[in-house]
Structure 1
Amino acid sequence: MVDKGVARAFIGSFTSAGGPGIVAASLDPRTGALTATGTVEAVDPSYLAVGRSEAGPVLYAVSETVPGAVTAYDIAAPVARPLGAPVPVGGDEPTHLAVARGHLVTANYGSGSVSVLPLAADGAPRPPSAVLRHEGSGPDPERQRAPHAHQVLTDPSGRWVLSVDLGTDSVRICSLDTATGAPALRSETALPPGTGPRHLAFHPSGRHAYVLGELRPTVTVCRWDAAAGALEPVGETPLFPEGVEGPVSPSAPVVSPDGRHLWAAVRGTDTIVVLALDGTGERARVVASVPCGGRWPRDLVLGPTGTRLYAANERSGDVTWFDLEAGSGFPRRAGSLAVPAASAVLFV
């Protein structure tokens, strides 16, 4: 069995771009260093999530393929064991997933939909019980002709499932039937046209959320009402001055455990932008920008202690970690692990 006091990491990588699938790694709690311990077979695992079954922790990976699929792994033992064959999600190119109310939910970018898959007692996913198809479009003729669900996550209360749609410039809030998992649309929040929202992160207070735009490099600050299931935009902060040159494609926002900082990974500039949040969580301002340690940072996550950041740099093929300065939140590069075509990092 795995020592429950030792943190592990699982790193997704795109096999279509030369990645090995999922890399398992151990974590040095003193230095934050990752050391690869093995690989787990998976096809284009663009994002990872963890849940629990009666036997222990279960790792889930979506395959960003056409059609899309999800695979579950028993990770209670040192070597991950697949819990059956990949299960089709009923949509194309799933980019994200989350465990919600005993179900697995996927965001299907290619088909602009959200799928809900029941989970068996051992954590294995069953075929979808429901697929919620998004409707709408945006002003970008290349990227927003149709819906493109990019992220799905639960709110801090666990009552609601939010789906962030790049194609429709909106965030949808749904409830899930606890018995069947059937999603019911509660509301849809519109963002400025052309934002192309990619990912959302909540403030630790649970009263605010921050939506990162991929097409327009901005952070939209929103108030979150968990009782009503309502998301209200109240401000917008550009990540760069107007006229920044070259491709700019923000990917992943992270909020500090104390609610004082927000970090945003940005592809193209290959940077991590540091934003300071005020005491209410309602105002964000850019205070610094640092190199991400590689190229094309597709994912950015906090380590288990909340004192380090880890960037999955897809095109340079590495995961780079940063020590965070107390007070300022400034990231300082501390090391890296080679992972070809890295897509996502998950600590368990």
Structure 2
Amino acid sequence: MKTCLWVGTYTCDVESGERRGTDGQGIYAFEFDDETQRARLCSIYEGCRNPSFLAVSGNMLYAVSEMAEGGCVTALRYDAGQGRFTYVNEMPIPGSAACHVLIWKEKNCLVITNYLSGSMVNHALLPDGSIGARNGFFQYEGRGEDPVRQEGPHAHSSILSPDGKTLFVADLGTDRLYHYRWDEASQGPVPCEACPETYVGPGEGPRHMCFSPDGRYLYLVTELKGNVFCYQYSSEDGHLTFVQKVPSLPASYTGFNLAADIHLSSDGRYLYVSERGADIISVFQVDRETGLLGTCRFQLCGGKSPRNFCLSPCGRYIVAANQDSGNLVIFRRNAQDGLLGEVVEEIRIPSPVCARMADRDSLP
């Protein structure tokens, strides 16, 4: 089996726009062969500045350009046979430092979050995959406990509930999750009437989220305090009920750390969190019935600052994008105990910050 692997990188400084000698060139496209366990570089798309987050739907990729000024979201079509990108179109993003993009497929909507300006933007997706007109903009207000990192709102990511009904936006600066539902009249998201937001806790810094496969539980990792929260999700009104909070780091670790990404295995048995500073992947056992997190084990990520990671579609591999060490590490994954096994491939890439995978045969 062959898998497409796309990697977004930082190409320049977010604030100044100046290039650095060690930074990436754009979006890297690889083909990973499950039999040989080797990745082959197919192409590099250099038309995006700081493509720090990617969303994939079929053969369409959407990349945000994380810039303090002049950011945009770009639509690309990928030809798996040729290993090449084709530019489709792009749209400017109101706000500053777009850091996440999500596809609300059922509603043909693109959801973008801006970190520096603390806002969420929506664009229509057209039938050919191109990005259409803006159909929503939400500016957040407030601040948090940390005077440096939470001096204002900092929207960091969004996620859609598996039932397709509720959109959640995590704001690191205000320690809140904002809840939205689709409004047919305006053809865009609007705040949930019954439960417009969830307060996470002072100084936590909500960052990324994932859902259990059955859609009953939402898991959140907080960047600043390094905790994992479990909430029970109500499909009826979008309400989140607190279930559990557990630390994502070893009790003995006292150094600098910023928690980053979070994912569940497809069977819902294991939850993974990446830690920048400790430079580990935390592996939790999950009780699929109660949603509770149990035993946690900690494994080295193979580099420095694992900003983002992904599980392969087959579930046999985990790919870690280690930003500060400039390497992409592909681990074999043990489905029985959830642990990372041997490194089967290591690829040198300047400033890798996002990794996405898809079965090559599933692409149009």
- TM-score relative to the length of structure 1: 0.93
Do 1:189 and 1:232's aligned partners in 2 also have CA atoms closer than 8 Å?
no
SS in 1 for 2:54: strand
Gaps of 5+ in 2: 13-19, 359-364
Please name the residue that 1:93 is paired with: 97
Q: Number of aligned pairs? A: 339
Specify the code of the residue in structure 1 equivalent to 2:5. Answer: A
How does 1:235-254 map onto structure 2 within 5 Å? 235-242=244-251, 244-254=253-263
Partner of 1:340: 350
Q: Which residue of 2 aligns with 1:112?
A: 118
Specify the code of the residue in structure 1 equivalent to 2:321.
Answer: A
Superposed CA RMSD in Å reads 1.7
Give the direction of change, closer, same or farther, for the CA distance of 1:181–1:297 in structure 2 (3 Å limit).
farther
Structure 1 match to 2:35: 30
Distance 2:228 2:42 in 1: 36
Q: Deviations 1:80-137 (Å, cap 9, x if unpaired)?
A: 11113x3112111011011111011101111111100112232121342221112222
Deviation at 1:338, TM superposition (A): 1.4
Please tell me whether the aligned partners of residues 159 and 210 of structure 2 are also in contact (alpha carbons under 8 angstroms): no
Distance 2:6 2:309 in 1: 13
Retained in 2: the 8 A contact 1:112–1:146? yes
Counterpart-to-counterpart distance in 2, 1:335 and 1:281: 36
Q: 1:159 aligns with which of 165, 173, 177?
A: 165
Change (3 A) 1:181 1:298: farther
- Answer yes or no: is the 8 Å Cα contact 1:253–1:265 preserved in 2: yes
1:290 to 289, 296, 299: 299
For 2:185 and 2:328, the matched residues in 1 are separated by 39
Residues 49-99 of structure 1 show CA distances to partners (whole Å, capped at 9, x for unaligned) of 0135xxxx2110000112321011111463111113x31121110110111
> Residue type of the partner of 1:160?
T
Match of 1:102 among 108, 127, 130: 108
- Spell out the pairing of 1:36-55 with structure 2 (5 A cutoff): 36-41=41-46, 42-51=48-57
Task: String of CA shifts for 1:17-69, please: whole Å, max 9, x gaps.
Answer: 510100010011235432211101211001000135xxxx2110000112321
Matching residue's letter, 2:76: Y
Tell me how far apart the structure 1 counterparts of residues 322 and 300 of structure 2 sit (CA, whole Å).
Answer: 11
The change in CA–CA distance for 1:31 and 1:284 in structure 2 (over 3 A counts) is: farther
Residue identity opposite 1:345 in structure 2 = A
- Offset at 1:286? 4.1
Residue 163 of structure 2 aligns to which amino acid in structure 1?
S
1:132 maps to amino acid:
F
Q: Is the contact made by 2:97 and 2:117 (CA closer than 8 Å) also made in structure 1?
A: yes
The percent of aligned pairs where both chains have the same amino acid is 32
Q: Decide whether the 8 Å contact of 2:53 with 2:99 is kept in 1.
A: yes
Equivalent residues in 2 for 1:273-312 (5 A)?
273-312=282-321
2:103·2:110 contact (CA, 8 Å) conserved in 1?
yes
Residue 93 of structure 1 aligns with an amino acid whose one-letter code is: A
Measured after TM superposition, the shift of residue 171 of structure 1 is 0.9
Does residue 132 (structure 1) correspond to residue 143 (structure 2)? The answer is no
Superposed CA offset, 1:276-323 (max 9, x none): 112324211343111101110010111010121111111111111111
Structure 1: gaps spanning 5 or more residues? none
Match of 1:75 among 64, 73, 78: 78
Residue 68 of structure 2 contacts residue 96 of structure 2 at CA under 8 Å; is this kept in 1?
yes
Give the partner amino acid of 1:90: P
1:123-202 correspondence runs (5 A): 123-178=129-184, 180-186=186-192, 187-202=196-211
